[in-house]
Amino acid sequence: MPTLQVSRTYNIQKSIDYVTSEKAHYNHEQTKGKRVQWASGVNVPITNKTAFMSKMHMREVQKEYGKDKGYVQGYSIIQGFGADEIDPKGGVDSRNKAHDLGLQFAQQVYGENNQAIVVTQCDGKSGLWHNHIISNAVGLDGKSQRGNMTKWTQLAKINDEIALENGLTPLDKDNWQKNKDRKRDAKAKGQYQTPIEKRMRKNGVVLAKDEVIEQIRIARDEPAVQNIDDFKQLLHEEYNIDVLEARAKDGENLRYSYEYTNKKGLTNTKVSRASTLAGEEFQLTPLTKEIEKKVALQQAEKEKDPGLREYGLDIEEEL
């Protein structure tokens, strides 16, 4: 069950220094006091002893294309193996097996156009074999990594395929697909949270996004709002939120423009799609149906009062 963790780095030099440092974090029988057990490069001319120099080669490419400042500099992957897959005390054979699996992965993902290093270690607390795979976010042609190259689901799929080809069975060979499906379903229901949002909410931070969601719901459910135009007007006047038409490719996915205060105390304007805020809930048809449902209930309440029918009174006008 080889596992995979993916993250981005804005300081590739620091990331490479971390994985190529000499002193072992935990000294097990197989570490022999060393942190780096083996290292190789993909499109980077390094040896086991010069892995730390890969940062210079990667930074040269970034500087050549003017992407050495203010950009994501690299992607860091940790590829881990269980004791039942690679014997923690298997010595050179275990080291070679772990490193070969990491190198196969790196060559398949980055070999065509990107630089990467594979550093094999076993100095974690558990003593299990694992690889640190760090890739340059800027390709040899100057283009930044995009799409499947940075998505966990696609990278996990490749990792599973390599595991199967080498006689290892993933914990769940379809785990990447199930994760993708869960994420899609959560987005559709407006329940998806990014890692940053989870952390901020856990720390008690009230997100501007959460406030906007609450304000949109209040406006939608306001008795005086009888149609979508009333809804837009109330949001604008009461909460300074503007409802924008959906882009052609987005169908009914309305957009909401609102202001928020950033970390520096400055006011910025953000435009979020309905699906980003709350899944389908704030899209045009579901929103219209909720308003129509509310209006129908109001009408039904009026019909229940014979006095209102006889004299033709309008509750809202009288109030």
pLDDT tens digits, one per residue of 125-143: 999 999 999 999 999 999 9
Whether residues 173 and 260 fall in one domain: no
Domain membership flag for residue 81:
yes
Domain membership flag for residue 275:
yes
d(CA 132, CA 137): 15
Domain membership flag for residue 193:
no
d(CA 51, CA 131): 14
Per-residue pLDDT, 316: 45
Say whether pLDDT at 249 is over 80. no
Q: Which domain holds residue 128?
A: 3-188
Whether residues 97 and 116 fall in one domain: yes
Say whether pLDDT at 188 is over 80. no
Q: Which helix (H) or strand (E) holds 95?
A: helix 91-110
Cα dist from 60 to 13, 19, 53, 140, 309, whole Å: 12, 20, 11, 10, 81
Q: Which residue, of 157, 188, 219, is where some domain finishes? A: 188
Whether residues 220 and 90 fall in one domain: no
Q: Mean pLDDT throughout 275-303?
A: 91
Whether residues 18 and 80 fall in one domain: yes
Spell out the residues 6+ positions from residue 295 whose beta carbon is closer than 8 angstroms to its own: 226, 227
Whether residues 173 and 300 fall in one domain: no
Per-residue pLDDT, 313: 43
- Identity at 169, one-letter amino acid code: T
Query: SS3 letters for 207-268?
Result: CHHHHHHHHHHHHHHCCCCCCHHHHHHHHHHHHCCEEECCCHHHCCCCEEEEEEECCCCCEE
Which range among 44-53, 56-65, 305-314 shows the weakest confidence by mean pLDDT?
Answer: 305-314
Whether residues 152 and 222 fall in one domain: no
Whether residues 17 and 125 fall in one domain: yes
More confident residue, 183 or 268: 268
Residue 41 DSSP label: E
CA 119 from chain center: how many Å?
25
Whether residues 103 and 10 fall in one domain: yes
Angle between helix 175-188 and helix 152-165 axes, rounded to 10 deg: 160
Per-residue pLDDT, 1: 53
d(CA 114, CA 144): 9
d(CA 237, CA 48): 64
Which range among 2-16, 102-116, 261-275 shows the weakest confidence by mean pLDDT?
Answer: 261-275
What CATH number did the domain enclosing 168 receive?
Answer: 3.30.930
Spell out the residues 6+ positions from residue 282 whose beta carbon is closer than 8 angstroms to its own: 216, 254, 256, 274
Residue showing tokens 């910025």: 268
Per-residue pLDDT, 220: 95
> pLDDT tens across 114-126, in order?
999 999 999 999 9
> For the chain, give me the number of helices (H) and strands (E)?
12, 8
Whether residues 183 and 133 fall in one domain: yes
Whether residues 55 and 137 fall in one domain: yes
- Identity at 46, one-letter amino acid code: I
Q: Which residue, of 188, 214, 242, is where some domain finishes? A: 188
Angle between helix 152-165 and helix 91-110 axes, rounded to 10 deg: 130
Tally of domains within the chain: 2
Listed residue (49, 63, 58) closest to 9, CA to CA: 58
Say whether pLDDT at 174 is over 60. no
Q: Mean pLDDT throughout 58-84?
A: 93
More confident residue, 203 or 243: 243
